[in-house]
Amino acid sequence: MNVTIVDYNSGNISSVINSFNEVAKDKVNIEVSSNLETIKTSDKVVLPGQGSFKNCIDGLNSINGLIDTLNLFAIEHKKPLLGICVGLQMFADVGYEEVETKGLGWISGKVSKIDNKDGKFKLPHIGWNEINITKDSEIFKGIENNSHMYFVHSYEFVPKDKSVISATTDYSSKVVCAAERENIFGTQFHPEKSDKIGLKIIDNFLKL
């Protein structure tokens, strides 16, 4: 099985690469690439994202044909794709970080700033937080509800259709921290920084 981690200069993705390699051992071939042919012929794709929504979308757009290739992979061919942090947020129709920016439009919704209740909640939201698993998901197989995951973000994904939400976390309000639709999965938290439980999520994705 070939899994490609998409490298489009969205910040440091070494921890993503290391944790996927740790879980994959020698059973799965992990590639880090922005090569369109490599992505097209992969069995699974990981879309990481660090920094702002706009920067990440700009990064995808800077590689000619990359967004079309991702659309072909995830939407037309319906192969499994995992978005991490801003990788999940980009599934939305639109993001409002820095300026209004068009997203990939894979799961209808928007990305807006977390309401910090007039400074009561620090932004960015950094650190470990409990997650509330809201639906039976292959990604959360063998993971207990109220497990702790590691977060770094100031913006949240607000999907139109609440049935796509697979987990939330309480930070100012119920923040969506995992969403999925058919073959597309996304986590707002960082599984690669979430210790053994995070590695279990990566393992679940690789076993899909």
The DSSP secondary structure of 93-153, one letter per residue, reads: SEE-SSS-EE---SS-EEEEE---TTTTS-SSEEEEEE-EE-S--GGGTT--TT-EEEEEE
Choosing from 85, 97, 125, 156, the catalytic residue is 85
Choosing from 97, 156, 180, 190, the catalytic residue is 190
Is 192 catalytic? The answer is yes
The answer for 9, left when phi > 0, alpha when psi is -120 to 50, beta otherwise, is left
Asked if residues 201 and 150 have their Cβ atoms less than 8 Å apart, the reply is: no
Pairing of β 148-153 and β 125-130:
antiparallel
Is 85 catalytic? The answer is yes
Place of tokens 């950094």: 126
Choosing from 97, 156, 180, 192, the catalytic residue is 192
What is the Cα–Cα distance from 52 to 32, expressed in whole angstroms?
A: 21
CA atoms within 13 A on the CB side of 187: 25
CA 54 to chain CA mean position, Å? 15
Is 177 catalytic? The answer is no
- Which residues are known to be catalytic? 85, 190, 192
